[in-house]
Amino acid sequence: MGESIILTDNQLQQLTGRKKKSLQIKWLKENKFHFHVNLIGKPVILRSSLCNSVVMKVNDQQEPDFGALINGKET
């Protein structure tokens, strides 16, 4: 059987560095991950949304202004 479509409890703890549900939710919000909270208050994050979040974060990074180094500009 393949991987589950949602992160396991251990994977969620590894991602957030937190065991407590409320702290996991806080971390996910602060880091702008898309997730849902189930009926027992546990954050549920789809594996696909995790992959999309990481790709979006990488794409959002700006390239440094190397021209500023050559031209002596300060930013």
Instruction: Give the structural domain span for 50.
Output: 9-60
DSSP string computed for 43-71: EE-BHHHHHHHHHHHHHHPPPP-HHHHHH
pLDDT at 42: 97
Crossing angle for the helix pair 9-16 and 21-30, to the nearest 10 degrees: 50
Handedness of CA 39, 40, 42, 45 (dihedral sign): negative
Q: Does any domain span residue 54?
A: yes
Domain count, the chain: 1
Q: Does any domain span residue 75?
A: no
Structure tokens at 54: 């990481």
Q: Does any domain span residue 47?
A: yes
Question: Would the pTM count as exceeding 0.85?
Answer: no
Q: Does any domain span residue 68?
A: no
Q: Does any domain span residue 4?
A: no
The residue behind tokens 């021209």 is: 67
Taking only the tens of pLDDT, the chain with its 75 residues reads 578 899 999 999 999 999 999 999 999 999 999 999 999 999 999 988 877 666 555 555 566 666 666 666 555
